């Protein structure tokens, strides 16, 4: 009996671990021509917290979204509480989930294999 239970458990565990995963990454590239400060809220489900107030020089980039998920849709993967804040010269721009998704639709995209999708946000309209 114990042997059958262990066999069933190993089959279940193998099935769960082989479930396809998707990785969604977004990088923000500073095309503003001056240093900006970048902060995010709920930036990742697999990495540590995003250090607030990351300074980003012109033409530098930084990862602002990183999610590993068991589905294939970005919309269902990013939490409703996500936020990207960009600040400089006493002004700021904020992207909530919906605004981020809208920017990603118009951003360059790179596919790595079947599971990893990487966007690069490089829109001058985000320059504060």
Model pLDDT for residues 3-57, shown as the tens digit of each residue = 443 444 444 444 555 677 899 999 999 999 999 999 999 999 888 888 888 999 9
Return the SS3 of 83: strand
Question: For residues 75 and 114, what is the distance between their CA atoms, to the nearest angstrom?
Answer: 18
Question: For residues 108 and 110, what is the distance between their CA atoms, to the nearest angstrom?
Answer: 7
**pTM, full prediction:** 0.81
């Amino acid at each position: 009996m114990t042997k059958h239970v262990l066999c069933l458990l190993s089959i279940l565990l193998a099935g769960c671990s082989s479930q396809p995963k998707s990785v969604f990454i977004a990088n923000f590239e500073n095309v503003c021509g001056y240093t900006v400060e970048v902060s995010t809220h709920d930036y990742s489900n697999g990495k540590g917290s995003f250090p607030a107030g990351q300074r980003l020089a012109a033409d530098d980039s930084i990862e602002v979204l990183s999610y590993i998920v068991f589905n294939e849709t970005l919309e269902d993967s990013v939490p409703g509480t996500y936020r990207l804040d960009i600040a400089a010269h006493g002004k700021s721009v904020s992207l909530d989930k919906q605004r981020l998704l809208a920017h990603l639709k118009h951003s360059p995209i790179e596919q790595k294999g079947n599971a990893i999708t990487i966007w690069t946000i490089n829109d001058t309209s985000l320059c504060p």
